[in-house]
Chain A
Amino acid sequence: MSASTPDFNTRKSTIQSGSTILFRLPNGDAKAVKVDKDCNVSLGRLGVFYANELINEPFGRTYDIVDKKLTLIPPRTLAEVEDTDATNEYINDGEFVQPLTLEEIQSLKQSGAHASEIIKMQIEQHANYSLKTEYSKEKYKKRKEAKYSKIFTTIDPTLFNVCEYWFKKDQTRIRDIRVDALSQILNMANIRPGGRYLAVDDASGLLVSGILERMGGMGRLITICNTDSPPAYPVMVHMNFTNETIAPLSSLNWATADQSHIPVAPPVELPSEQIKSDRQQSRLNKRKAATDLLNSTREDLFAGEFDALIVASEYEPFSILEKLVPFVAGSGSIVIQSPFGQILSEVHTKLRALPGYLCPSLTEVWLRRYQVLPGRTHPTMNTSGSGGFILHAIKVYNDENANAITSHRRPKPTANNSSSNKIIIAADASMEDAEEA
C-alpha cells in the first residue's frame, strides 16, 4: 500500500552534505549557509561549528553553540506570564539604569561567558528591572537574548519557509509574491503530480520551485525565459530538490519559443576525417545533446495541450498570453501575478473582450499574522503591505454560432456544427451579455 512508501525524494527529510540550509538566528532573521561535510559552518556573530554535527539531523531542531560545539536544545514552549500590579508609573525615559558598561560586557563575552550569564548580570545591575511589568521583563530578556544568545534553529526547506525567507530577504526579486499569493497561484493553476505546465518566471525561480514541488517529479514543465543560456533560478538552491524533482523542467527563451523562428545551431556532425581529437568529438556530442534537447522541448511546446500557464514576468503580460495561450488546453487555467494592480487591470480589460477567456477575475491577496502568547495575543505590529495581485481566467473554445439568450436570433447553425475548436481573437459581446443576464 502506498502509505508504507517512504519519502518521495522531493527533498530529503534530514540535512545532507552539500545542501544550502536556512538558519533561524536569535533575532528572528534567517540566514542561508551551505553545509559541507568535514567543513566548518560559520554563522557570523554566533560563531563557528563543525558541519558534521548537523548532517543527517532532522530539520527544525534548535542548538546552542558552546565552545564551537553544538548542544541540542528542547523546543521552546509558551510560558504563562504571571500578572502583577506593576506598571510603568515610576519608570522614566533617559534615566541611567545600567551600570554595566559596554567594555565590561565585551570582556565578559570574550572570557567565554554564556549568554544567559551576561543577561543575568545585566538584570541584576539594572536599576529599574523590578519596577517593570512581567510582560516588560519578558520583552527585555528577549531583546538581550537576540543580542547575546548563540542559539539557532535549522529551518525545514518547505516551500512556505523558503518563500518567507526570500520575501523577507528581497521581496522585489521575487516580484512581491508572498507565500499566500504563491499558494493561491499553485492552486488556481491546478498543479498536481503528472500535469503539464507552462511558466514564465521572472521571480528568481519561486514559481518554478513551487510548481516543481507540487509536481513531485511527475509531468512536464516548460519555462520561457529571456536569456540565451538556461535561466538561473536562485530560489531553487534553498529548496534542496533531488534530481528526480527537477527532471520535468526544461526551458526555452522567447526566440526559441517562437514557432516561426528556426534557431541557428552550429553543426553537430562532421565528416570523420575532420574530427581530430577525442575532445573535439566530446564537444560535438555535447552540442548534439543540447540541440536535441532544444528541439524536443520545442516539439513539446508546440504540441500544446498544457494544463495551465503561470506568469510572473517583468514583460507586458498580454503579449505573453498572445504567444503562449494557443498552447494551453481547453479548460486550462491562466494565472498571471503582478505586484501592480494597474498592469493586471489593463490585461483584464483586454481579456474581457475576448471569447477565448472565460471569466477573467482580478484579486488581491491579504494576510495577517498574529502573535499568540498566553494573555498577549494580537496581530503582529509590523506586517507586509502587499503580496501582489493575481489575474485568473480559464481558456475556452469559442463557438461563434452560440447565441446569448439576450441577443437576437441569428441564422441557424449548419447541422451538427455546434463547436468550432478555434480560438477566435475578436471582440464578442455575447459572452458578457450572458454573464450579466
Chain B
Amino acid sequence: MWSTAREIAAGDTVILWLTRELVQSLVVTPGKDFQSKYGHYRHSDFVGIPYGSKIGSRTGKGFIHILRPTPELWTMALPHRTQILYIADISFIISYLDIRRGSRVIEAGTGSGSFSHSVARSIGPSGRLWSYEFHEARAKKAKEEFAQHGMSDIVTLTHQNVCKDGFNLTDAADSVFLDLPAPWDAVEHAKQALRKDRTTRICCFSPCMEQVLRTVSALNDAGFSDITMYETLVRPHDVNQVPALQSITEVAEKLKKAEGVREIKRLRQIAAGQKSHENPHGEKRKWSQEVGDQGELPVAEAEDSGSGKRLKTDDEMDDGTPSQNADVSRSLDEPATQTVRAGASIPAPPAKISVSKAIPEVRGHTSYLTFATLLPPMPPALPESTLPQGPETT
C-alpha cells in the first residue's frame, strides 16, 4: 500500500497533522507549496526527512507533523463523499468476519473507502477485496484513490448496483460486508458469491432497527445461521489534572476558628456597648486604642456587624484576621487558597491528581452490525428431515 521506507520520498502520500481536528493527506510533489494557518512549507522540504518528523514553517512561526498514512489516519483525513465508518465499527467487523492475511472479501458499497483501506491493510497483497459502488462518480474517485495508494493489486472496484445485478462471483469470497440502504435485496446474491467449502460470514451495516429486522429475516430465509447483532462505540475521555481533594477536617477546623473569632467579637461588642452607655463621649478614642492593642481591623468589625450570619470565606479570613494567630491561619489556608487560584496548567508540586471522564458530547450511534454465518452445506447422505435444532442461546 503506502511507503514503508523510513524517509519520505517524492510521490509519497503523506499525512499532515496540523491539529487533532485538522488532518490532511498530500502527495509530495517537489515544486509545490503547502500553505496553511500553521505556516508555509515547500514539498521539497519534506523529501528525505523521516516519517514522524515535526517540521517548522519557513516563516519561523507554526509547525506541522508529517506522518506515514495508516488506514486509521486516512479515515481522519479522507475527503468525505458519503457517511463513513469509524474505527470502532471497522475493527469489530474485521474481527468478526475473520478477515486476515489472504482473505477474500466483498464490500458494497465502496462509499468513501474508509473500510476498504482497513480491509486492504489486513488482507495484504495475497488477499483480495471486491468492492462495488453504484454511484458512478464515487466509483471513479475511489478507483483513483486506490491506485494512488498502491492498492490496485488488492482491490477490484466495480461500478455496479449489487441489489439489482449481484456480484458476478460464485463460491469466491470468505466474507461479505454490506453497507447498503436495502441490504436484504443483496442477501441472495451474497450467498451465491460466498464459498461453500468452509464457514463464511456476512455483516450488514444499517442505522435503523427496521432495516435490521428485514435483513434478519432475509438472512434467515437464505439459510444463514448464528444471526446476531451488535452495537459498538468508542467513548473518548478527557484527562485533566486537578488538586487533590481537600478533607472536610480542614474545612471544619476553619469553621471552628471562625466561630471562635465571631464569639470574641460579639463579646467585645457587648463590652464596648456597655462602656459607651456608661461613657458616651469617650467611646471613639478608647475603641481605636483597643483596636491597636488587639490588632483587629475595623473592616472586619464593620463586616461583622453588617451581616453577622454569613459564613466567611478563606479570603475574608485572611484579610480580616492577620493578628496573633496569623501564622497558624496562614499555614492552614495557604495550600487551599493556592490550589483554588492555580490554574490546571501551572504545575504545582503538592498533590495533583490525574482524572478522566467521558467527554460531554459523544457519538451515540453509528449503525447496527448484523452478523450471520453460512455453513458448508450438509453432506447429502444425511436426512434433511431432522428437526432443526441447535444449542443457540436465547
Contacts and interface: CB of A to CB of B under 8 A. Distances in A.
A435 B226 CA distance: 46
Given A28-B391, A369-B228, A194 B55 contact: no
A180 B96 CA distance: 10
Closest 8 CB pairs of A and B: A330-B52, A216-B101, A402-B56, A76-B390, A331-B52, A75-B225, A402-B63, A28-B393
B184 to A, nearest CB: 14
Interface string A77-89: 1110000000000
A22 to B, nearest CB: 13
B126 A160 contact: no
A333 B70 contact: yes
- Count class of interface residues, chain B: 35 or more
B145 to A, nearest CB: 18
Nearest to B154: A2
B19 to A, nearest CB: 5
Contacts of B355: 342, 345
Interface string B100-127: 1110100000000000001001101111
A183 B53 contact: no
B70 A396 contact: no
Given A2-B127, A364-B237, A368-B231, A75 B375 contact: yes
A192 B124 contact: yes
Contacts of A435: 19-20
Interface stretch (A249-257, A294-302, A370-378): A370-378
A238 interface: no
Contacts of B91: 180, 183-184, 186-187
- Count class of interface residues, chain A: 35 or more
B135 to A, nearest CB: 26
A73 interface: yes
Nearest to A419: B53
Interface stretch (B212-220, B275-283, B308-316, B324-332): B212-220
A34 interface: no
Interface string B65-103: 101101110000000000000011011101110101110
Nearest to A376: B394
Contacts of B235: 363-366
B232 A365 contact: yes
Contact of A409 (B51, B60, B241): B60
A21 interface: no
A312 interface: no
B222 to A, nearest CB: 10
B394 A373 contact: yes
Contacts of B382: 72
B392 interface: yes
Given A193-B101, A419-B55, A405 B62 contact: yes
A413 B301 CA distance: 62
Interface string B373-388: 1011011001010111
A288 interface: no
A396 B127 contact: no
Contacts of A369: 228-230
Given A330-B52, A373-B394, A401-B56, A3 B104 contact: yes
Contacts of B87: 184, 187-188
Given A8-B126, A341-B237, A399 B63 contact: yes
Interface stretch (B24-32, B37-45, B136-144): B37-45
A320 interface: no
Given A372-B228, A435-B19, A216 B100 contact: yes
A348 interface: yes
B299 interface: no
A359 B124 contact: no
A280 interface: no
Contacts of A182: 95
Contacts of B51: 329-331
B247 to A, nearest CB: 20
B356 interface: yes
Contact of B20 (A59, A345, A355, A359): A359
A337 interface: no
Nearest to B372: A372
A197 interface: no
A418 interface: yes
A395 B237 contact: no
A358 B392 CA distance: 46
Contact of A26 (B38, B213, B356, B391): B391
Contacts of B392: 76
A7 B103 CA distance: 9
Contact of A192 (B104, B121, B216): B121
A215 B101 contact: yes
A413 B17 CA distance: 22
Interface stretch (A103-111, A144-152, A200-208): A144-152
Given A190-B71, A398-B54, A59 B6 contact: no
A287 interface: no
A30 B20 CA distance: 43
Interface of A: 2-3, 5, 7-8, 10, 13-14, 24-28, 58-62, 64, 71-79, 116, 138-139, 142, 145-146, 149, 151-153, 156, 158-160, 163, 179-180, 182-184, 186-188, 190-194, 213-218, 305, 329-333, 341-342, 344-346, 348-349, 352, 355, 358-359, 361-374, 377, 389, 394-399, 401-405, 409-410, 412-413, 418-419, 421, 430, 434-435, 437
13 contacts: A72-B378, A218-B124, A330-B68, A341-B237, A348-B354, A366-B88, A377-B213, A394-B65, A396-B67, A399-B53, A402-B55, A404-B63, A410-B60
Given A60-B199, A77-B388, A192-B121, 12 more contacts: A26-B391, A62-B389, A158-B98, A179-B95, A184-B87, A218-B124, A330-B68, A349-B241, A371-B394, A399-B53, A403-B63, A405-B61
B191 interface: no
A392 to B, nearest CB: 9
A386 to B, nearest CB: 10
Contacts of A368: 230-232
Given A58-B375, A72-B382, A405-B38, A399 B50 contact: no
A182 B87 CA distance: 12
Contacts of A158: 95, 98
A418 B58 CA distance: 9
Nearest to B96: A160
Contacts of A187: 71-72, 87, 90-91, 94, 118
B198 interface: yes
Nearest to A421: B50
A360 B355 CA distance: 15
A399 B56 contact: yes
A305 B50 CA distance: 11
